[in-house]
Amino acid sequence: MESPLNYTIRLALSLGSSWKTHSLPDDCPWRAFTVKVHRAHSHLIILPKRDARTFLADMPDDSSLADLLLPGTHDTMALYGWPISQCQDLATPLVVQLNAGIRVLDIRMAVIKGKLIAYHGIYPQRTPFANVITTLRDFLANVPSETLVMSLKQEDFPATSAADFSRIVHDEMMAIPELWFLENRIPTLREVRGKVVLLSRFGGDGSGWEGGLEGLGIHPTRWPNSAREGFEWTCKGTTVRTQDWYNIPSFLDIPEKVDKAVGVLLPPPGDKSTLSISYFSAASFPLALPPTVAKGFGWPKAGFGVEGVNSRVGRWLLDRLAVCADIEEKDQPRIRGWALTDFFQDPESALVPLLIECNYYGR
C-alpha cells in the first residue's frame, strides 16, 4: 500500500504578526495559517487550496452575483504615483490580478486626445482603455467559466463633459459588443460566464446607449461621497448596501474603517435580495495614505506600529472560517458581496484566497 504524503509545517509568527500563512510544497492540497490568540498560544487553521484562476467554475450556474464573495481591487489600474495615487503594486498589472482571482475591477478613466486613458485623480496611470478591454477579452476567452464586474468611473469632470465621456466609452466598448453584460440588474452566473458585467458610475442621461440608462449595465441611483455609515440604493428589487468611506482622518481610524467594511459583508438575517459592495480602501493626506492604510507599519502586536486594513480583514476572515469549521455551516451567516482592496497581495498573498474560500462555506 502506498503510504500517505506527509507535510511539515513550521509554526512561527513573525514579530508583531496577529496571523500568518505558512509555506508548503506546491503539490500540497492545503493552505496553513496560524492565528495568535494569546501571547503564547496560536490556532492552526488548515484550508483547501483552491485554483484562484478558475474558482467560479465551482459555483452553481444559478448563483446570483449578489450571492457570491467576489474579490476586487480598488483603483485597479493605479500602479503609479506612490505614495499618494498608487493603490496597487507595480508587479500586479491587470493580467496578474485576474489570474490571482480578482473578479471586481475599479477602472477610472480620463479622455486624452480623444481616447480613454487610466487615471487616478489627476495622476495618469498610462494604460489605454482599449488595452484594458483586450486584456479582459483574452482572459475570459481562456477561462470561460469566470465572469468579471467592471466599475467604470470618470476622473476628468472639469475637462470632459459627462455626455462626451459616455459617448467615448460606448464607442470603445462596442468594438467587442459580445463581451459585455449591459442590463441594469444583478445577473446569475449562468448569464454572464465569459462576460464582463458593467457597473456604470458615469453616463449622464444614457444618450447613445441602447436602452438609455437601462443599457448602461448596473447603474447606481446614488453614490454620496465618502459616506461614513455607508448608503443603500436599489437595482431592480435588489437592495445594494455600499460601504465606501475612504476619507478617514488618520491611520488611527483604521479599526473603525475595518469594522464598517467587513460588517456590510454579513447579510441581514433572512434577507436574500441584497448585494453588498465594500471598499477596504481609504486615503487622506498626510496621515492616511493608501500604503499606510492597506499595509500598516511597524510591529503593531508588539506595541510598535499600526496594523493595516488588509491584515485586520485577513484575521477577521480566518476567525469566521474557523467558526464555520467548528459548527454547522448552515447555521452561520455566509459572508458575501464584492470586496475591493488596495495592495491586494499584502500580506503574504493570502487575502484573496481567504475571500475566495468564503464562497465554499454554507452552500
Bridge partners of 265, per DSSP, are: none
Query: In a 10 Å sphere around its CB, with 0-12 CB exposed, 13-18 middle and 19+ buried, how is residue 91 labelled?
Result: exposed
**Could you count the other beta carbons within 10 Å of the beta carbon of residue 176?**
14
Burial code of 225-253, b = ≥16 C-beta within 10 A, e = fewer?
eeeeebbebebeebebbbbbbbebeebeb
d(CA 145, CA 165): 31
Cell of 141: 476567452
Distances (CA, A) of 264 to 128, 243, 278: 33, 7, 7
Dihedral sign for Cα atoms in the order 291, 293, 295, 297 = positive
Which helix (H) or strand (E) is 318 found in, with range? helix 309-326
Catalytic residue among 22, 41, 43, 120: 120
43 catalytic? Reply is: no
- Strand, coil or helix: 278: strand
C-beta of residue 306 within 8 angstroms of C-beta of residue 258: no
Cell of 112: 486624452
74 catalytic? Reply is: yes
C-beta of residue 106 within 8 angstroms of C-beta of residue 97: no
Catalytic residue among 22, 74, 170, 219: 74
Which helix (H) or strand (E) is 70 found in, with range? strand 69-73
Residues annotated as part of the active site = 74, 120
